[in-house]
Every structure is written in structure tokens, then in C-alpha cells.
Structure 1
Amino acid sequence: MAERKRRLWVTVFVAGAMALLLQYQPIHQYISFVKNDQVVTAEKILDEKERLRAQIEQWKEGREEAPVDAVVDQTWKAIPGYNGRVVDVEASVEKMLAAGVTGPEMLVYKEVPPAVSLDQLGAQPIYRGNPKKPTISFMINVAWGNEYLDSMLDTLDKHKVKTTFFLDGSWVKRYPEEAKKIAARGHEIGNHAYSHPDMSTLGTQRIHQEISRTQDVISKTLGIKPALFAPPSGSFNKQVVQIAHASYQMKTIMWTADTVDWKKPSPSFVIKKISGLMGNGVLVLMHPTAASEASLDQLLTIAKQKGLHPVTVSEVLSSRRLP
């Protein structure tokens, strides 16, 4: 019994000593202790770390990626950048030692931001995210169609997806409880002007009025200040984009793929069209209509099958990498 207690005490001591050795670096003194007649030293631990560092340098090959700068494309206008990634060697060493497991799957990465960000591009319309980021957004513009909202919200919940709803200001004024329902589900809220005008035909004062009135009613109703603006019917000009950017710190959002659901197409038409256009960084335009309500579930399923992550517009535009 005494011998068993002695061995148990030695085991506990060894474990504690090893934890201390791994926690405090660098180790300047030669420390040793005995476990089952084997000597474990600080020098051996350091040797093991050096061996792991050398191995990690080999595992790094082909796994690191350079960041991608945001650019203004002739066709797609402002395209956000995408963070690169490098292996954090020391963090990887510590993780492997602590877990007692080595291998490339244990590597720890850190992100490297691009030299040029989306914000540095200034006032530009945005039609898509970066083609290297495997995200997609099924964004929903709301100025009518209350009868389909609950079903679409339930479908998004079923897939555990948060998306972006661009709300018409006058709609929020008329249906504050519907607007609160969308926000309460955790979805991002954007500005869709106040009275659904053709923004490209408006003067400066009216442009300000359409955007600011919507900002005000959303702020008062939901306690949210939108950072994204979607022009009704996708109609805008350079002045609209500049005012949204300079006066309201808002990005002007367009789309990559249009369901054209306001034309009352069949759900099968919408599914076939949009599934063929799905890809990294795609922004899909929808409304709370019968066609989009009936196709949303299958579109979300197809997107996931293609390896895409349905997220908010802001997440598509972010340079952050997915976990």
C-alpha cells in the first residue's frame, strides 16, 4: 500500500512539473525528475519543440494563402478583399504538445488582412463578394408581401441561416410589428428607401429624404442603424452612391443573381435559374413573394450541397475567412 501511494505521488508530481515546464518559456535552467526510472528534462522538451517546429515548416507547404486585395472591377464594380492565412508556428507547437497529438490537422492559423480593403475603395456600388470566399446571401427586399414573411422566416430558422432584409421605410411605418419580428429572429436589417422611388431620377434633397427617413423609422422602431442601402428596383446613379457613402456611411448593395420573383415565375423556374448561378460571393435578390417562399428551402439546401455558407450580406462582404 505504501509503495502504491508513493508511485501515485510521483505521478502527480511529474504531471504538475510537466505542466509548469510547458507553461513558462523560455526555460533557462536544467530541470530533471524521475518517472519510472526515465529522466525527463527541460532540454528534452526543448528538443521536442525544435523537432515539431521543423515538422510544421514542412506541413506549411501549400497550406498558407496570400491575402487578396479589394478591387474595382469593370463589370462587378467594388469587390471586397479576402484575408490570407499563415501558420502560427509557436501556437501550433503548444497546441500539439498540450494535446499529445501531432499532424497537419492540428495546425493553428492566423489571418492576414489585405493591403487594400473594401472601405478604401470609396463610394462604389457592390454586386458581389470575393470569389474566393465560399459564402452566399439570399437577401430579401421588403416593401410588400407580408403574407409570405412568416413562412420564409421559418425556413431560414429551419436551416439556421441569418440573412439580410432590406426594409422600405414606409412599410416599417405601417407594419412595425412585422419589422420587429424580422429583427427578433436575428437577421441583418438594411435600408430600402422610404417610398420605393426610382432613385436615379431624384434630386439631392429627395435622395437624402428617402434614405434619412428610412434610417429614422428603422432606428426608432428597431433600435438599429443600417449600414447597407439597397436602391429600389436596383435603380441608382453616382450621386445616390456618393450620398449614401458620404452622408450616411452606407454601402450601396446590388445583386449578382435575380430571382425576378415579382414577375410571378414558378418555383421550379426560380430554383433552376438561381442554382445555376450559385457560387462564392453571390448575392441573390429575393422578395417575400409566392415564388421565393416556395423555392427558398430548396435553394438553401442546394447552396449547402455546393459547399456554400448562406450568411448575411455584411458577412459576404467581410474579408474575414470562415472558421
Structure 2
Amino acid sequence: MKRFNKVLLAAFALVLMTSGSLVQAAVPNDPVQWGFKKGQNEKPAEAGKEREKLLEKYGAVYRGDPNKKNIYLTFDNGYENGFTDQILDVLKKEKVPATFFVTGHYLESAEDLVIRMVQEGHIVGNHSYYHPDLTKVDDARVKRELDRVKDLTYELTGQKDMSYLRPPRGVFSERTMKLAKDAGYTHVMWSLAFVDWNTDQQKGWEYSYNNIMKQIHPGAILLLHTVSKDNADALEKVIKDLKKQGYTFKSLDDLFADGAFDDPMLH
């Protein structure tokens, strides 16, 4: 019986080889909820070796070089709450680039703001169309989610390339990272954030300002939500004060240009 099983397995392997097929293990789909040890006193945030290793494998990032006083400003835009114009006004005045990760709902309900983002030199990134947990939907659905955002952004703004993805809810897996990379996307996580999205629990501009300033560190990828009045009211002072401290605001394209992303702490 054992001999029969060995012969059967050998024959099955031969059929696969001669047909040009290979048996490959499925890419793991264990969900990872993004998290990290917050930065403080200008020391960088740390996501831990396991998360960092997975990000590095797929060319993803959550911070820039901790030895360079650069900041990468990003916003998540799920829906409009009346503050994005104010934020864009500040960015224009201070000549600061940003990346706005948008959903399908935002594209359909705030067309003029998305157009303004691109016209004023900002990057529009992909936050998926319906904002699902991508680890819980099949491969085809993941592709549709990303394609619809990319296509609609192009129709509205003429932005041809969409290279950056921020997974909804900060949840991803090795499978979703591979799918995204195969589709031409780089996962962009973050190294500085705080609870700013509860619109009925805004605490005043100082709350936003203080949370940013106490966590700031060289190479920070800063995540803010545009629905927050606190963020909109604090942004100009944050930018001005960080510039006084020697920080430079750069775009995600700068982070990746000419090998600019090189975090020695990850090697």
C-alpha cells in the first residue's frame, strides 16, 4: 500500500511537471493590524521586527530615513466634512506637498476638492473604493477596489499614475500586499498618528498640535484625517513650528526618488 502511494504521488508530480505546472503554497492571508511604539523626543516610532520584515519584503514603508529631518504629510479622506479646503489653503500658503488617500465615496462626493489636490501639486493615493477589510475579500474584489479608485481619479484629474496604497482600517496581510505590489502599488503606512477622526469628540487645535509635536521624529510619515476640525485649525502652526525646528516637508515621490528611502535601522 505504501509503495502504491509513492508511485501515485510520483506519477502526479510527473504530470504537473510535464504540463508546466507547479504546486505553490498559498500566500498567507493572516490579517495584520497596523501598530507601532510611538516616537518621542525625536526618536523614531518602531513597528517591531516582524512587521518591518514583512513591509520590507514588499517594498512597503512606514517611515523615512530617521537620520534626515524630513516629514511626509499624508491624509486619509473617506468623506468630506468641510475642512479640506482650509487644509489645502494652508498647504498652498506654506508650499507643503501632501498625499491624500481617497475612497470611492470621496471621489464621487467631493470631485472639486480632488481636482484641486492634483492641480496644486499633491498626490492622490488609493484607499480602496468601498473601504473594506481587504484581507476578507477575494483577489478579484481587491483588484476591482483598487482599479475603480485609480480609474475614477484619472477621469476627474488626469493623474495617470497611482502608485501608493493605504489599506482600509490599517489592516493588511502578506496576500494583500502581494496583490497590491503585483498591481503596481506600494503600501504606505505611517509612523505618527493619534485619535483624530471622531468628529463629535474634537478637543481644540491644541490637542492636534500637541499630539503631533510630542511624537514628531525625523523621517516621520504623518497620518491625519481631514474630517478633523482640530487638524485643520492646528496645521499652519504645526508646519511653521516644525520648519523652525529644521524639518523639511517632502512628498512620497521624494521618499522613493533615486533611492532616497534608506532606513538604516531596518538593515
Q: TM-score, normalised by structure 1?
A: 0.60
**1:127 maps to amino acid:** Y
Corresponding position of 2:189: 254
> Is the 1:303–1:310 Cα contact (8 Å) retained in structure 2?
no
**Structure 1 241/176 Cα, relative in aligned 2: closer, same or farther at 3 Å?**
same
How far apart are 1:146 and its partner, in Å? Answer: 4.3
Alignment of 1:23-38 (within 5 A): none
Corresponding position of 1:226: 162
Corresponding position of 2:172: 236
Aligned length: 209
Task: Give the whole-Å Cα distance in 1 for the aligned partners of 2:241 and 2:48.
Answer: 28
Q: Percent identity?
A: 24
Matched, 1:77 2:15: no
Corresponding position of 2:252: 313
Task: Give the whole-Å Cα distance in 1 for the aligned partners of 2:165 and 2:83.
Answer: 23
> Is the 2:79–2:105 Cα contact (8 Å) retained in structure 1?
no
Corresponding position of 2:7: none
**Structure 1 223/78 Cα, relative in aligned 2: closer, same or farther at 3 Å?**
farther
- Aligned to 2:172, the other structure's residue is in SS state coil
Task: Give the whole-Å Cα distance in 2 for the aligned partners of 1:134 and 1:142.
Answer: 26
> Is the 2:80–2:106 Cα contact (8 Å) retained in structure 1?
no
Corresponding position of 1:49: none
Matched, 1:202 2:127: no
- Aligned to 1:181, the other structure's residue is in SS state helix
How far apart are 1:202 and its partner, in Å? Answer: 1.8
**1:142 maps to amino acid:** N
How far apart are 1:198 and its partner, in Å? Answer: 1.8
How far apart are 1:204 and its partner, in Å? Answer: 1.4
How far apart are 1:132 and its partner, in Å? Answer: 1.9
**Structure 1 78/168 Cα, relative in aligned 2: closer, same or farther at 3 Å?**
farther
Matched, 1:287 2:225: yes
Corresponding position of 1:132: 67
Corresponding position of 2:237: 298
Corresponding position of 1:277: 215
How far apart are 1:211 and its partner, in Å? Answer: 0.9
How far apart are 1:298 and its partner, in Å? Answer: 1.6
**Structure 1 175/270 Cα, relative in aligned 2: closer, same or farther at 3 Å?**
closer
Corresponding position of 1:103: none
**1:297 maps to amino acid:** E
- Aligned to 1:269, the other structure's residue is in SS state helix
Task: Give the whole-Å Cα distance in 1 for the aligned partners of 2:53 and 2:255.
Answer: 13
Task: Give the whole-Å Cα distance in 1 for the aligned partners of 2:130 and 2:152.
Answer: 12
Task: Give the whole-Å Cα distance in 2 for the aligned partners of 1:165 and 1:188.
Answer: 6
Q: TM-score, normalised by structure 2?
A: 0.72
Matched, 1:158 2:93: yes
> Is the 1:165–1:188 Cα contact (8 Å) retained in structure 2?
yes
Task: Give the whole-Å Cα distance in 2 for the aligned partners of 1:76 and 1:281.
Answer: 18
How far apart are 1:183 and its partner, in Å? Answer: 0.9
**2:244 maps to amino acid:** Q
Task: Give the whole-Å Cα distance in 2 for the aligned partners of 1:228 and 1:135.
Answer: 19
How far apart are 1:75 and its partner, in Å? Answer: 5.8
* Bigger Cα Rg: 1
Runs of 4+ in 1 over 6 A off after TM superposition: none
Task: Give the whole-Å Cα distance in 2 for the aligned partners of 1:222 and 1:309.
Answer: 27
**Structure 1 316/170 Cα, relative in aligned 2: closer, same or farther at 3 Å?**
same
**1:198 maps to amino acid:** D
Which deviates further from its counterpart, 133-142 or 312-321? Answer: 312-321
**1:201 maps to amino acid:** K
Q: Which runs of 5 or more structure 1 residues have no equivalent in the other structure?
A: 1-71, 80-117
Aligned residues: CA RMSD: 2.3
Task: Give the whole-Å Cα distance in 2 for the aligned partners of 1:169 and 1:239.
Answer: 23
How far apart are 1:165 and its partner, in Å? Answer: 0.9
| Greater share of strand | 1
1:117-154 CA-to-partner distances (Å, cap 9, x unmatched) read x9xx5514321111122210221111212410110001
Corresponding position of 1:52: none
**Structure 1 276/76 Cα, relative in aligned 2: closer, same or farther at 3 Å?**
farther
